[in-house]
């Protein structure tokens, strides 16, 4: 290891994906674990935002609303980034479990989780702060990008 550091070679090269060595099933399992971890963390961050929620109705705030929401820009950036990370991980989970046994149940559970996430965000965010159409758009961004990539692949493959 010391030789790698002193010669300037990248130490992480041996951890990178190698199509000749790594099995597709192993790669899919690792991606599922990573996507599930990201979905869990972002879901929890949305349900219990940083700083927690107000416990009382004093000083112009309401019980159950995010304390962090008093910093509008920072909270809005947090909501957008968290929602994009959550929906991207959900897209990866749905994509990697395609044609798995119990796929319908996975999709139903995933949709239920998305609805729960959205309702939790709605519950802890003061109504006057966030335009939820932007949050809903942010949730759709990964799906839109993936759809456009697929569309371009179909168009350019048919032209060859």
- Is residue 89 over pLDDT 60? yes
C-alpha to C-alpha distance for 35 and 41, rounded to whole angstroms? 10
pLDDT tens string 5-40: 455 566 666 667 777 777 878 888 889 999 999 999
Residue 141 lies in a domain: yes
Residue 28 lies in a domain: yes
Residue 14 lies in a domain: no
**Count of domains forming the chain:** 1
Residue 1 lies in a domain: no
Residue 39 lies in a domain: yes
Pick the more confident residue, 133 or 94: 94
Residue 48 lies in a domain: yes
pTM of this structure: 0.80
Q: Specify the pLDDT at position 20.
A: 77
- Give the domain extent around 142: 22-53+61-158
């Amino acid at each position: 290891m010391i030789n790698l550091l002193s010669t300037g070679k990248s130490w992480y090269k041996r951890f990178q994906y190698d199509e000749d060595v790594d099995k597709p099933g192993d790669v899919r399992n690792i991606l599922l674990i990573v996507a599930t971890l990201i979905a869990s963390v972002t879901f929890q961050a949305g349900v219990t935002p940083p700083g927690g929620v107000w416990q009382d109705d004093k000083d112009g705030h309401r019980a159950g609303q995010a304390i962090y929401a008093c910093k509008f820009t920072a909270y809005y950036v947090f909501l957008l980034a968290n929602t994009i990370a959550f929906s991207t991980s959900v897209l990866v989970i749905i994509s990697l479990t395609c044609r798995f046994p119990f796929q319908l149940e996975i999709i139903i559970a995933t949709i239920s989780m998305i609805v729960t996430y959205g309702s939790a965000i709605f519950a802890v965010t003061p109504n006057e702060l966030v335009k939820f159409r932007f949050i809903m758009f942010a949730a759709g961004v990964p799906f839109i990008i993936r759809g456009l990539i697929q569309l371009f692949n179909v168009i350019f493959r048919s032209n060859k």
